[in-house]
Structure 1
Amino acid sequence: MDDVTLVGIDLGKHSFHLHGQDAKGKAVVRKKLSRKQLIEFFATFHACTVIMEACAGSHHMARKLAAFGHTVKLISPQFVRPFVKSNKNDFVDAEAICEAASRPAMRFVTPKTESQQTLSALHRVRDSLVRDRTKTSDQMHGFLLEFGISLPVGHAVIKRLPAVLAEHPLPPRLVTILERLHAHFKYLSEQIGAIDKDIAVQLAEDDLGQRLLSIPGVGPITASVLAAEMGDGKQYGCSRDFAASVGLVPRQYSTGGKANLLGISKRGDKNIRRLLVQCARAYMQRLDRQCGRLADWVRAMLTRRHSNVVACALANKLARTAWALATRNTRFDAGARAMPA
């Protein structure tokens, strides 16, 4: 097995399937190992290139194997699927991973650090709590509407629900249900507030996060998510590559030498894309108080394009600006020339 240069691993919860190839692409290794056996195997194996699909446990495993001196690369599952042969099984998947990784033009995913993974988990918990709070609020609105009480939209009126209940005669059991929902709503709000404080503390200690906050329209949540998901940005060749990775560039359907550009592709992380579009809209709402080249560009765009189109174009520009700040170790300058769209 000394001639093995490339090892593909099909990850699982308890079992891992390995497919090793030599420099000529000939299969040399074919093993099924447990998690403990996998660590022991690579701890004594000679340095080689290890390829895995980017998934939940791949980043931890990548850090583990890299500590043994191996070169670890993660590949998106969508790029592996075309190389899977018929009669799919775990060994065939591992072979397909090797085949996909051997392509010279293949794109890979940069493994996350522990801090990036932890921050990403914190954001996912926050998103889950926000969804639960919205669901709880909608339930209270719906139950009250069934009894002829229509409340204004928003969370502010939910906070004074006890006063609303006192003003209207309602069945005692319904009041008990609404009080339970209100208590749950308050608990969720407290948890979201605590997570926001944790994010603010981590962001204050992060140099990249502080530089991302200098971008107009970008707040703590967006800056924290970008710092966790983008990192130093060196895995992208240019700013347009990062904007394309989050689906903020036009979708192309060209043939016969005729270029046909459609709407944004909506690929990649939809959470980052949503946050950047929200940042763009927040910037546009305060456009009368903005100055600099970026503000002039937005005003010029609004004279000839719909505000929704401008919001997506501005989100694209914010994504490219974030990449530039991450890779060049700089801060946003409102007077500087904006990144081209």
Structure 2
Amino acid sequence: MTTTPHSEDKILVAMELSNDKWLMAYSNGEKIRRKSIDARDRSRFMQELKLAKEKLGMDPGVPALCCYEAGRDGFWICRWLKQVGLECLVIDPASIEVNRRKRRAKTDRLDAEAMVRLLGRYAGGDTKIWAVVRVPSEKQEDELRLHREMERLKKERTGHLNRIKALFILHGVKLSGTLTKLSKTLDGLQCWNKKPLAEELKEEVRRELERLRLVGEQIKLLEKNKAEALKNPRTNAEHQAQDLMRLHGVGEVSAWVLSKEFFGWREFKNRREVAALAGLTPTPYNSGGSSVEQGISKAGNRRIRRVMIELAWSWLRFQPDSALTNWFVDRYAKGGKRARRIGIVAVARKLLVALWKYVEFGEVPEGAIVR
């Protein structure tokens, strides 16, 4: 491994995490030592770190720089390492360099060694080799729970509805209207041949209806909690959601997701970072005589992308005199469907930057109607 200017005065630790084992790769900038420990065994981790310093000929008091890939283990490992006085980086896995051969060897050992080499380059000042994830506080992370649970519950509700309808279609029965009274009318329904529904079929439908009812109650509870939080905001994100809702066309759901996922705890230096984190930046392909626009990167927060596309259409409708709406009308409104789809993504990107300036600096989007 090539010695870097700053990696000699600290031990580098790359962690390859799995559910049962953690594979550690230690390095002093030249040699690499590997060791596997049981997952989440914190005392063993500290023992092996001390031993690695000894084996690599380093001073016991030398600081450590650790890293691991963002994933199912979340941020608790990073918080713990910082609590015990160790520096830690959480890395975006998609940003790590990989071999581009069609078939390449991939093992935890190879991944850990490659990561510790990259960590050495990062410690030497090459900060562009990968993307470091910003770690939220425990409170900030907890604020993401409500709308994410709501998202899962709504998908679950849709799944139950589709399953019930599919069971009836399977027997030639088409339901009309809502399913609110289905439990009362179920016994009177008939198959395609006028025969009553089979008993097991009716029992399965009743169980699905019970699950649907329970999911509906949980959704109502979460919606009530969200409404109370918006009425009496306590956190910075909730105050930002209130501010966003003052703009015509920005509803409760959009304001909540934007503030909790994006503006409430992330720090942006400029508008490029805002668009990049949402995955709304263009990805050109210019090589030799070939020049192709590949579309948006989709490398950021998918929830923000979805909300912003919906909000862009809403903005055009409820803010007809804004500068952004006029820009879209002049450039894309006379085109076909494809042109308007391209244009709405551009509106979403520009609108996201405008909303960031609004919540961060109080700069109202040009021509926007404020309640």
Q: What's the TM-score bracket when you normalise by the shorter of the two chains?
A: 0.7 to 0.9
Indicate conservation of the 8 Å contact 1:211/1:332, yes or no.
Answer: no
* Superposition map of 1:1-341 within 5 A: 3-22=9-28, 25-27=29-31, 29-34=33-38, 35-37=41-43, 40-41=46-47, 46-82=62-98, 88-101=106-119, 102-103=121-122, 104=126, 105-106=128-129, 107-151=131-175, 157-162=178-183, 165=186, 168-169=189-190, 170-171=196-197, 173=199, 174-201=201-228, 204-213=233-242, 214=244, 217-230=249-262, 231-234=264-267, 236-256=268-288, 259-284=291-316, 286-287=317-318, 290-305=320-335, 306=337, 307-325=340-358, 329-331=360-362, 333-335=364-366
Amino acid in the other structure paired with 1:171: L
Q: 1:84, CA displacement in angstroms? A: 11
| 1:62 CA displacement | 0.9
Question: 1:260 aligns to what SS in structure 2?
Answer: strand
Q: Deviations along 1:298-331, whole A, 9 cap, x unmatched?
A: 43344244432233222222332344456xx334
Letter in 1 for 2:257: V
TM-score when scaled to structure 2?
A: 0.73
One-letter code aligned to 1:317: K
Give the whole-Å Cα distance in 2 for the aligned partners of 1:228 and 1:142. Answer: 36
1:131 positional shift: 1.6
The answer to whether the 8 Å contact 2:14/2:112 transfers is yes
Deviations 1:109-158 (A, max 9, x none): 11122133333344443222212211111122233334554345xxx712
Query: How far did 1:71 drift?
Result: 2.6
Stretches of structure 1 that go unaligned for 5 or more consecutive residues are: none
Q: In the TM superposition, what is the alpha-carbon distance from 1:176 to its structure 2 partner?
A: 4.2
CA RMSD of aligned residues (A): 3.5
317 and 46 in structure 1: CA distance in 2 versus 1, 3 angstrom threshold: same
1 CA distance for matches of 2:289 and 2:61? 50
SS of the aligned residue for 2:174 comes to coil
Measured after TM superposition, the shift of residue 45 of structure 1 is: 6.1
* Contact 1:58-1:74 within 8 A present in 2 as well: no
- Taking a change above 3 Å as real, the CA distance of residues 222 and 254 of structure 1, as seen in their structure-2 partners, is same
Aligned-pair distance for 1:255? Answer: 1.7
Q: Percent identity?
A: 23
Q: Which runs of 5+ in 2 are unaligned?
A: 1-6, 51-59, 191-195
Structure 1 residues 206 and 322, CA gap change in structure 2 (3 angstroms): farther
- Bigger radius of gyration among the two: 2
Residue aligned with 1:171, SS: coil
Instruction: Kindly state the Cα deviation for residue 54 of structure 1 after the two structures are TM-superposed.
Output: 1.2
